[in-house]
Structure 1
Amino acid sequence: MFIINFIRGFIMSLADSVPGVSGGTIAFILGFYDKFINSLNLIVSKNKEERNEALFFLIKLGIGWITGFILSVLFLSSIFDSHIYMISSLFTGFILFSIPLIIKEERESLAGKYKNIIFTLLGALLVIGISYMNPSSNGNGLNLAIGSLSIKLVIYIFIVGAVAISAMVLPGISGSTLLLIFGLYAPIISSIKEVLSFNFSYLPVLIVFGLGVIFGIVATIRTIRKLLKNSRSKMIYFILGLMIGSFYPVFMGATTLKIPQPAMTLSTFNWIFFIIGGAIILGLEKLKNVISE
C-alpha cells in the first residue's frame, strides 16, 4: 500500500509542478479522489482514529509528492529558460487534451445544464483578466530575491500561494496553471532551484509562499469541497472556463521569465511537444487500471 500511495503522490506532483493538469485530476483519474478529499478534511477531525488514518494516508502520499516535485523542479528549472516555447507547447497539449477528459468524466454534471455555460465564460474571462493585470505583464519579469521584495509583492505572493493550493483539489486546472496566470510560475520555480542550490536569498519568498499555501489549505479546501458537492455543475463549467482561459497565460509565459522573451506565437509553437503533452494525458487515463487498491 505504501508503494501504491507513493506512486500516486509522485504522479500527482508531476501534474502539480507543470501547468495544464492538476494533481486533483490525477487523483480523479486514478480513482482515489474522494479518499484524498476526505482525508484532507479528516486531519482536523475530533475522532482520533479517523484523524490518524487520514494523516497516515496523506503522509504516504506526501512522501511521493515531495520526491516527484523536487525532481520535477530541478529538471524544469534547468531547461525552462532555454526551451520555453517547447515547454509552453507541452503545457498547451496538457490543457487541450484534459478538457475532453473532464467533460467525459463529468458528463452527468454537465448534460442538460447548458445554461451554466455562463460560468465557463466567467472562468475564462477571470483567467485572462488576472493574467493581463499580474505584476509581470509589463514584460519586465520578476526577481524574487530578498533585495527585490516589496510589501506589495510579498502580500501578492502570499495570496497567490493560498489560491494556487486550492486548485490541487479541483479536477481540472492545476496550481501551476494558476501560478502561470498570476505571473509567478517561472519566478517560483527559479526560486526553488536557487534554494536547492544553497542560494538562500530566495528563501524568504518561499517561506511567504508556503505560509500562503498553509492558509489556503485551512481556509479554502472545505469551501471548495462544499461547492463541488452542492453546486457541482456550475463548478465544473467554471473549471472548464479556467482551463480554456489558461491558454492565454501559457502563450504569454515567456514574458514572465527573469529575462523576458516574446510571447509564444504559431511560428514558435512546437507541434511535437504539443502532441507529447496530449499523449501523456491519454497515458495517465490508462493508468487507472494499473494503479489500484
Structure 2
Amino acid sequence: MLVKMFHGFCMALADSVPGVSGGTVAFILGFYEKFIDALHGLFGKDNGARKVAVLYLAKLGVGWCLGLCLSVVALNDLFQTKTYFLSSLFLGLTAAAFPFILRTEWWALKGKGRYLPYTLLGVALVCGLSLVRGAASGGGVIDYWSLGVGELLYLFVAGALAIMAMVLPGISGSTLLLIFGVYAPTLYALRRLLALDLAVLPGLFALALGVLVGVGVSIRWIRAALRRNRAKMLYFILGLMAGSLYAIVMGPTTLSPPQQALHLETFHLGGFVLGVGILIGLERLKLLIARREARAEKTEDGTQGEEEAQSGGSPQGPA
C-alpha cells in the first residue's frame, strides 16, 4: 500500500512540472506496464479486471493527490519568482532521463536504427506545437476567471493531449500545458481552488473532462503500440523528450507577462544539477525497493519451505 502511494506521489511530482512525465517516472521505477494494464482494465469490459484496476489506481491516486497538492503550493510562487532556476531544473530532469531509458530499453533499440525517423517525428511534433502556440491560443493568456466557449474548448483539448503525454513515457503533460500557455494559469487556478475560490471550477472542469476523454481514447492505443511496435514507440518517445528540451527553453515566454526564453546567461547550473540528481535518486530508490522486495520474497519462500518440511513435504500435513 505505502509503496503504491509513494509511486503515485512521485508520478504527481513529475506530472506537475514540465520535463519528465509521470509515465517516465513509472518507467524508471519499474511499474509502468502494471500502470498501463490497470488503466486498460479500468476502461475495459472485464468487471473482474476493472475491480483490480480500481483498487490499484486508488492506492496510486492517494499518493498522486498528495503530491499534486504539494507541487501546486510550492510551484505556483516559485515559477513566478524563480523562473529560470526551475526551467534549468526541468532541463536537468529531462536530460537525465535519456540514459535511464536507453539503458533499460537497449535490448529493444539495439540494431533498430532504421526507426530513427520516428525520433525526428517526435522532435518535430513538440517543436512544431511550441512554434504554433501563439496562433493556437489566439496569442492571449488563459484567464480562469473569464472564460468563453472557445477558451473552455481550448482547455478541454489541452487536457486531452496533456494526459496522453502524461501516460506516455517521454514528454510531460505539463510540458504540453506549457506549450499551450495554460501551465502557469492552471497552477494558479488550482492554488485558488485549494483556497475555496470556486470561480475557477468551470475551467478546471473543462480541463479535467479533457483528461478523462484523453485517457479513454489513448490508453488502448498506447498499450497496443508498446507491445506490438516497441522499438518504433521508443524511438518516438526519445524524440518527444528531445523536443521537450526546446519547449522548456521557450517556457518563460508563455508566462504573463512573457519573459525571455532561457539562454546561457539565465541558465542556472545548480538547478540543472538538482534535476539530474532527482532522477538519479529515483533510480537508486528503484534499486532499493527491488532489493527489499527480493529479500521479502526469499524470506517468504524460506518460511514456506520450513513449514512444508515440518508437515512432511505437504501443506496439508502427512496423510
Normalised by the shorter chain, which TM-score bucket? over 0.9
2:143 alignment partner, SS class? coil
Corresponding residue of 1:144: 143
Q: Deviations over 1:24-63 (max 9, x none)?
A: 1222222221211111111234443322122111101101
Matches within 5 A, 1:1-293: 2-135=1-134, 142-147=141-146, 149-292=147-290, 293=293
Percent identical across equivalent pairs?
Answer: 47
Displacement of 1:146: 3.4
- Structure 1: gaps of 5 or more residues: none
| Distance in 2 of aligned mates of 1:291 and 1:186 | 34
Displacement of 1:73: 1.0
| Distance in 2 of aligned mates of 1:99 and 1:28 | 12
Out of 265-274 and 186-195, give the one that drifted further.
Answer: 186-195
Corresponding residue of 2:311: none
| Distance in 2 of aligned mates of 1:135 and 1:186 | 15
2:75 alignment partner, SS class? helix
Q: Deviations over 1:174-193 (max 9, x none)?
A: 21122222222212112211
Displacement of 1:278: 0.5
| Distance in 2 of aligned mates of 1:138 and 1:47 | 40
1:236 alignment partner, SS class? helix
| Structure 1 residues 85 and 114, CA gap change in structure 2 (3 angstroms) | same
- Structure 2: gaps of 5 or more residues: 294-319
| Structure 1 residues 274 and 180, CA gap change in structure 2 (3 angstroms) | same
| Distance in 1 of aligned mates of 2:99 and 2:109 | 12
Q: What amino acid maps onto 2:171 in structure 1?
A: I
| Distance in 1 of aligned mates of 2:260 and 2:19 | 21
- State the TM-score, normalized to the length of structure 1: 0.93
Out of 191-200 and 89-98, give the one that drifted further.
Answer: 191-200
Please give the root-mean-square deviation of Cα atoms over the aligned residues, in Å.
Answer: 1.9
Out of 105-114 and 267-276, give the one that drifted further.
Answer: 105-114
**Number of aligned residues:** 291
1:134 alignment partner, SS class? helix
**Which aligned runs of 4 or more in structure 1 are off by greater than 4 angstroms?**
136-141
| Distance in 1 of aligned mates of 2:138 and 2:75 | 21
Displacement of 1:194: 2.0
| Distance in 2 of aligned mates of 1:236 and 1:183 | 27
| Structure 1 residues 138 and 7, CA gap change in structure 2 (3 angstroms) | closer
| Structure 1 residues 141 and 261, CA gap change in structure 2 (3 angstroms) | farther
| Structure 1 residues 87 and 141, CA gap change in structure 2 (3 angstroms) | farther
Give yes or no for contact 2:40–2:220 (8 Å, CA) kept in 1. yes
| Distance in 2 of aligned mates of 1:52 and 1:137 | 40
- State the TM-score, normalized to the length of structure 2: 0.86
Displacement of 1:140: 6.1
